[in-house]
């Protein structure tokens, strides 16, 4: 493997255990997989397993979509976009801060 591909692969593996995602994952999963009320034992287990696969699939799809989009932007040759990222992040942060008031 060449160096850029090895770096990208390693970064992708490490991205799944980033500090933000690792800290927020238990709360996110407990929110979506919490108890819905009294159910029979086997039905409840099957419901929780199905919900777990659904939440896991959505997390996987959204995580992949973000990194695929970022990779496509860079690979298409829009390296000038990289120079805009700090400004774009500042604007997005300001909008989020304003919207949360």
Count of domains for the chain: 1
Domain that holds residue 51: 3-99
Q: Is the pLDDT of residue 52 over 80?
A: no
Q: Is the pLDDT of residue 68 over 80?
A: yes
Average pLDDT over residues 28-38: 65
pLDDT of residue 97: 86
Q: Grade residue 62 by pLDDT with cuts at 50, 70 and 90.
A: confident
CA distance 38 to 60: 29
pLDDT of residue 91: 92
Nearest to 33, CA basis, from 11, 52, 14: 52
pLDDT tens by residue, 70-81: 778 777 776 677
């Amino acid at each position: 493997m060449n160096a850029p591909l090895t770096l990208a692969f390693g970064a992708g593996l490490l991205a799944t255990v980033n500090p933000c995602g690792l800290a927020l994952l238990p709360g996110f999963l407990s929110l979506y997989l919490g108890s819905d009320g009294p159910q029979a034992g086997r039905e409840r287990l099957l419901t929780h397993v199905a919900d777990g696969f659904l939440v896991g699939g959505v997390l996987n799809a959204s995580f992949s979509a973000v990194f695929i989009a970022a990779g496509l932007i860079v690979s298409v040759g829009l390296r000038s976009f990289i120079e805009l990222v700090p400004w774009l992040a500042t604007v997005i942060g300001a909008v989020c801060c304003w919207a949360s008031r």
